[in-house]
Chains A and B, each alone.
Chain A
């Protein structure tokens, strides 16, 4: 089995929120699948990290859950984004873009730029 890198610490929450923003409602397994799919199967989602995270997000009020019927006609727990979650997603997106921009500038820096 090929080793895939785990999701970077702290970014999983953002991924979960964004996934739910695009495709809601979604159950836990589905969220993991979507994240892997979006990453082009470059990332593996550790279930042991995902479920505690879902619980935490729900506890914080960013997402809400309810029991529903899955595609295989079984009961499953579906998560969706709340208004607070949407706001958090926007804020975190902005933060992330800013961080990414800063990092990008570091990567592009050349010696003559600093002279």
Chain B
């Protein structure tokens, strides 16, 4: 029988029974009984119609379903009877499940998922992938030149395939076919062996091969990503006939990569792949096809079958040393050769791809997943408490029902159903929240205006796991008391509605749960306070420049044909600076290679009388004459750059205060000379120091002293990515005017980004802010759940002990005594929880010490504040029940006996 026929069947049966009963009544009447007597006699002879009906139901074999549906309905009704508690339970479950699944989706996308390529476990990266950019240093183990890649490919014996990829993505303003506007595209330069090494197959057309990468400059071909084909080209089936113009070169689109392939860097999603042979033709023309000291590539390979990582490492190191020795020339010093001897190249498994996100977020994500795990535990504890209280309070109800003939299994089944109902609703809420949390998180970790392209679709396994955990908790804590309750002596529990021995002693389980909650909340609270204080410390760091009222615009002259180091770049910059400085509301404007947290160009400098090995890693910046005015970095000695510093005059530089103190400790550096370009083929670049600027943070807020030298672009024409505009008044109006002015100078010059120094500073601590915000949220959530738990347990205990309290008061106990009776209980619970929580919190915070800034993990103030806060909220949430206890009317309480 189908289950939906139940109702019809039931109606049929009822009709049949009543009509048959009528027949019986009829017969009894024929015997001469009065209608009323006949009816009673008939019922006697016939038996209980309801019972008959129920017995017949059993014959259908669907009784379980029927009672299940009834249980569900009853469960929903009883959950709605205490809406506040149900809402809290559902919300905590939903948040617990949602937060865990969301954070894990990120953990999975960033740390765990393999690249969608053939046998990713065979891929290894030469180096660690920690750097990106361009270097001209001797024999570094992270970035490599194109000739080095070719030499390594030829000479190594451990890779079946070797490939290379530019360590940066080119953001190009290119043109599709003959469209009349440029659009931003992310172009990734790769060696021809890239796709064959990965074993990726094209969706359409072909992918690049080594044939596209054998001679420089004559392979204008491009492979596009699925996402870009679907988005920018609207899935054009004729895509293979279309063309792209990047810079001055037109590229043929020869293929589309498969949908799942996003490249080899997690968190980046190139639109276009172009062979390395075209490296000089893709703006901003980074890298070189033939310069052995232009190190800007990552190299990776596929291990030959049977080759271990150790074998590969020793072979690659051998080849690495051979190649660098063969690059030796007159400029290479004994020191360089000694350095080469010491350099060891590590190989890094690349099955999960490259990622800057990984090094930045692996620790925070692990911390966050621990926090959310604890939140899930607390949520489960809360559910456990709720269910415990509910089913303990229903002991009497169960006794009555059992006395009336309900089977024990039937009661347990009903409790199971109710618990499952709660878990299922919580799970559904959790799924809904996961999607939302994923979007919020992605937004939070993306510092720029575009979100990071990361596939964080809901992770089914984790979702199932978290839902499984909550269902298990609900079942366990919903059923344990039920088993206990239904086993009891019926007469006992029928007799005592609320007798004295039913008070505190019978709730060790619930108390244990509360203590656990308090201990966990303390851990979360300590974490939250640490991260927030660390964030506050970061925000109070003196940047050395004024972050307020300064716009930062990024321009891309490479898209309109300007080449790096061209003198006409300076003319363009000067023109733009002058026109913008004339705008009403603009105080000063200056171009700069870097402002803040935009990367760095580090070099060794040669200072007469200073050991060169000490003057490595000096930050170089190329700026406009008004840079120090626009950034409001004070010049503490000497002068700023001016119109007298031209391409033909003496090369000049301004150094940072720390630079001056370190390398010119007892002399006035003004007028002294030093040079950059310590180990290059080019002649050394000698400069005279004309000024000292106060230290300004350069790469991040957390960095120590900054050793920086500044050069005027009038003497060193370079691509300068940023334009700083100091203004007064409304930023929106100034920003509009500045952009209009730039367009009026050259309509084709793309403005790739408009932001402010404030946003750049904020963006540089995105990770710390995300962690602080999330840990605060989880900490508050934990404390809130804890309060609910304490309040619930105490209210329940007060209601169970009303009787005892009544007797105490009748015997002369003061109201304050009674309050104390309850408060004592709470303080005891919170104290035990804190005592357990403190060592756990200390151990945990030691693990996160290196994520903190300006504060120790074992900070005493934080710990004391957390303990005090927990005690306070614990006492507040227990105060209401205690007050209620003190207001018990002894007569009312005793009348229940």
Contacts and interface: CB of A to CB of B under 8 A. Distances in A.
Q: Do they bind each other?
A: yes
Interface of A: 27-30, 46-49, 51-53, 55-56, 59, 70-72, 74-77
Given A28-B20, A72-B23, A47 B58 contact: no
Interface in B1-43: 1, 12-13, 15-17, 19-24, 26
Interface string B38-57: 00000000111001110110
A51 B19 contact: no
Given A46-B47, A48-B47, A72-B26, A28 B16 contact: yes
A48 B16 contact: no
26 contacts: A28-B16, A28-B20, A29-B20, A29-B23, A30-B23, A46-B47, A47-B52, A48-B55, A49-B55, A51-B52, A51-B53, A51-B55, A52-B55, A52-B58, A52-B59, A53-B59, A55-B13, A55-B56, A56-B59, A70-B19, A72-B22, A72-B23, A76-B16, A76-B19, A76-B20, A77-B16
A85 B426 CA distance: 52
Q: Is the interface of A mostly helix, strand, loop or mixed?
A: helix
Nearest to B23: A29
A70 B22 CA distance: 10
Given A52-B56, A77-B15, 11 more contacts: A27-B23, A29-B21, A29-B23, A47-B52, A51-B53, A59-B1, A72-B26, A75-B15, A76-B20, A77-B12, A77-B19
B685 interface: no
Nearest to A1: B44
Contact of A70 (B23, B46, B60): B23
Contacts of A30: 23
A112 B15 CA distance: 60
A75 B26 CA distance: 14
A68 to B, nearest CB: 10
Contacts of B26: 72
Contacts of A75: 15, 19
A59 to B, nearest CB: 7
A75 B12 CA distance: 11
Contacts of B59: 52-53, 55-56, 59
Interface string B545-560: 0000000000000000
A85 B357 CA distance: 76
Contacts of A77: 12, 15-16, 19-20
A72 B27 CA distance: 10
B11 to A, nearest CB: 12
The 5 closest A-B pairs by CB, nearest first: A29-B20, A52-B59, A77-B16, A29-B23, A76-B19
A59 B59 CA distance: 9
Given A51-B17, A52-B55, A74 B47 contact: no
A42 B56 CA distance: 25
B20 A27 contact: yes
B55 A74 contact: no
Contacts of B56: 51-52, 55
Interface in B82-102: none
Greatest chain A CB density within 10 A among B12, B16, B21, B46 is at B16
A78 B38 CA distance: 24
Contact of A29 (B24, B53, B58): B24
Nearest to B52: A48
Nearest to B57: A52
A55 B58 CA distance: 10
B662 to A, nearest CB: 96
Nearest to B49: A47
B60 A55 contact: yes
A6 to B, nearest CB: 12
A51 B55 CA distance: 8
A49 B59 CA distance: 10
Contacts of B53: 51
A71 B26 CA distance: 10
Nearest to B9: A55
A59 B1 CA distance: 8
Nearest to B13: A51
A47 B46 contact: yes
Contacts of A71: 23
A76 B19 CA distance: 6
A75 B60 CA distance: 24
Most interface-central of B17, B19, B21, B58 (chain A CB within 10 A): B19
Kindly name the residue among A47, A49, A53, A71 whose own CB sees the greatest number of chain B CB atoms within 10 A: A47
A27 B58 CA distance: 21
A2 to B, nearest CB: 13
A29 B53 CA distance: 15
A47 B42 CA distance: 12
A76 B15 CA distance: 8
Nearest to A55: B59
Nearest to B47: A47
Q: Which of B24, B46, B55 lies at the interface centre, i.e. has the most chain A CB atoms within 10 A of its CB? A: B55
Contacts of A27: 16, 19-20, 23
Contacts of B46: 47
A28 B22 CA distance: 12
Interface in B172-192: none
Nearest to B1: A59
A48 B51 contact: yes
B19 A74 contact: yes
Contacts of B48: 48
Contacts of B58: 52
Contacts of B24: 29
B405 to A, nearest CB: 15
Nearest to B29: A72
Contacts of A59: 1, 59-60
A69 to B, nearest CB: 10
A74 B18 CA distance: 11
B453 to A, nearest CB: 60
Contacts of A46: 47
Nearest to A52: B59
B52 A74 contact: no
B20 to A, nearest CB: 4
B233 to A, nearest CB: 64
A63 to B, nearest CB: 13
Nearest to B54: A48
Contacts of B51: 48
Nearest to B42: A29
Nearest to A47: B47
A65 to B, nearest CB: 9
Contacts of A52: 55-56, 58-59
Contacts of B15: 75, 77
B753 to A, nearest CB: 75
A9 to B, nearest CB: 15
B42 to A, nearest CB: 10
A48 B51 CA distance: 7
From B19, B20, B22, B24, residue with most partner A Cβ within 10 Å: B20
A48 B52 CA distance: 4
A78 to B, nearest CB: 10
A55 to B, nearest CB: 5
Interface string B359-382: 000000000000000000000000
A76 B23 contact: yes
A72 B58 CA distance: 30
A75 B16 CA distance: 8
A42 to B, nearest CB: 16
Contacts of A51: 13, 16-17, 52-53, 55-56
Nearest to A44: B45
Nearest to A75: B19
A52 B60 CA distance: 8
A28 B47 CA distance: 14
A92 to B, nearest CB: 19
A59 B46 CA distance: 24
A53 B46 CA distance: 16
A52 B53 CA distance: 8
